[in-house]
Structure 1
Amino acid sequence: MEQPVGFAHYWAQGDAVSHAVAYALLLMSIASWYYILSKTWSSWRIRRSSNALDGFWKAPTLTDAIAVMRTVDSEEIFIPLAQRSSEAAGISSKQSAPSPSLNAATDPGELITRTLRREINRVSARLERGLTLLASVGSTAPFVGLFGTVWGIYHALAAVSASGTVQIDKVAGPVGEALIMTALGLVVAIPAVLAYNAFTRLNRLTLAELDGFAHDLHAYLTTGERVGKGEA
Structure 2
Amino acid sequence: MNLYYLAAGVAATDAPVNEFGFFKAMEEGGPVAWSILTVMVIMSVGSFYILFTKLFEQNKVMRQYKSVKSAYWRAPSLKEGAAKLEKNSAWRQLADDAVTAQEHHGKMEGAGNEIHFVEEELAHSQDTINQSLNGGLSFLASVGATAPFIGLLGTVIGIYRALINIGISGSASIDKVAGPVGEALIMTAIGLLVAVPAVLAFNWLQSRNRRINALMTDFANDIVANIGSNGAIKPAVTAAPAAKAGAAKPATTTGGVRTPPAQS
Regarding TM over 0.5, the answer is yes
Instruction: Note the 1:113-192 alignment, pairs <5 A.
Output: 113-192=119-198
TM-score by length of 1: 0.86
Distance, in Å, in 2 between the alignment partners of 1:128 and 1:226 is 35
Deviation at 1:229, TM superposition (A): 4.1
- Using the TM superposition, name which of 4-13 and 196-205 deviates more: 4-13
Does 2:73 align with 1:57? yes
Distance, in Å, in 2 between the alignment partners of 1:183 and 1:46 is 37
Partner of residue 204, structure 1: 210
Distance, in Å, in 2 between the alignment partners of 1:162 and 1:23 is 30
The one-letter amino acid of 1:18's match is: A
Deviation at 1:129, TM superposition (A): 0.7
* Contact 1:92-1:111 at 8 Å conserved across structures: yes
Report % sequence identity. Answer: 35
Distance, in Å, in 2 between the alignment partners of 1:21 and 1:126 is 31
Partner of residue 56, structure 2: 41
Q: Structure 1 residues 12 and 229 mapped into 2: Cα distance closer, same or farther (>3 Å)? A: closer
Match for 2:43 among 20, 28, 35?
28
Determine which structure has more spread, i.e. the larger CA radius of gyration.
Answer: 2
Give the count of matched residue pairs.
Answer: 221
Deviations 1:134-159 (A, max 9, x none): 11111111111111111111111111
Distance, in Å, in 2 between the alignment partners of 1:43 and 1:109 is 29
Deviations 1:28-78 (A, max 9, x none): 11221221111111122122222122121123332332122226xx6x121
Q: Structure 1 residues 93 and 222 mapped into 2: Cα distance closer, same or farther (>3 Å)? A: farther
Match for 1:19 among 31, 34, 37?
34
The one-letter amino acid of 1:200's match is: Q
TM-score by length of 2: 0.77
Match for 1:86 among 99, 103, 117?
99
* Contact 1:86-1:221 at 8 Å conserved across structures: no
* Aligned alpha-carbon RMSD (Å): 2.2
Distance, in Å, in 2 between the alignment partners of 1:14 and 1:211 is 53
Partner of residue 4, structure 1: 18
Distance, in Å, in 1 between the alignment partners of 2:212 and 2:79 is 24
Partner of residue 109, structure 1: 115
Q: Which runs of 5+ in 1 are unaligned?
A: none
